[in-house]
Amino acid sequence: MQDHLSQTFSALADPTRRAMLARLSLGEANVSDLAEPFLGEMSLPAVTKHLQVLEKAGLITKTRKAQWRSCKINGDGLKEAADWMEHYRVFWEESFDRLDTYLKTVTAPPKKGDENV
């Protein structure tokens, strides 16, 4: 049994599942609309499996509306992973600062009167 954070990262480790979340970031969608763009490259059971992985990881929720099953993003499901990531922010900001310092040493200052630089 995977811990929750591992389950979240594992669910995100797939381009199809991230594409599904990207679609849902634009708004709720029913399962068949969500599946449609992927059916050229994979079967409906494969699409359904991806949705199940997202649902099991708590990244989406499915609700039944009349005869439709509608999916939407569950923000809480991403928060733990984002909080984990936040702890490491200092490391990529540090490397950006180093790049910035380096660029300042290699770029010449703009010439006087040249306002387009």
Nearer residue to its own copies within complex by CB, 45 or 75:
75
Q: Read off the tokens for 99.
A: 């790049």
Cα 61 to Cα 78: distance, rounded to the nearest angstrom: 12
Cα 50 to Cα 11: distance, rounded to the nearest angstrom: 8
Indicate whether 74 belongs to the interface with its own copies (CB under 8 A). Answer: yes
Nearer residue to its own copies within complex by CB, 25 or 67:
25
Indicate whether 95 belongs to the interface with its own copies (CB under 8 A). Answer: yes
Task: Quote the least distance from Cβ 92 to its own copies, whole Å.
Answer: 4
Indicate whether 33 belongs to the interface with its own copies (CB under 8 A). Answer: no
Indicate whether 50 belongs to the interface with its own copies (CB under 8 A). Answer: no
Strand locations in 66-106 (E): 68-73
Nearer residue to its own copies within complex by CB, 10 or 110:
10
Nearest of 2, 3, 23, 4 to residue 76 by alpha carbon: 4
DSSP structural state of residue 70: E
Cα 101 to Cα 47: distance, rounded to the nearest angstrom: 46
Indicate whether 93 belongs to the interface with its own copies (CB under 8 A). Answer: yes
Residues of this chain that interact with its own copies (CB under 8 A) are 2-3, 5-10, 12-15, 18, 21, 25, 73-76, 78-79, 81-82, 84-85, 87-96
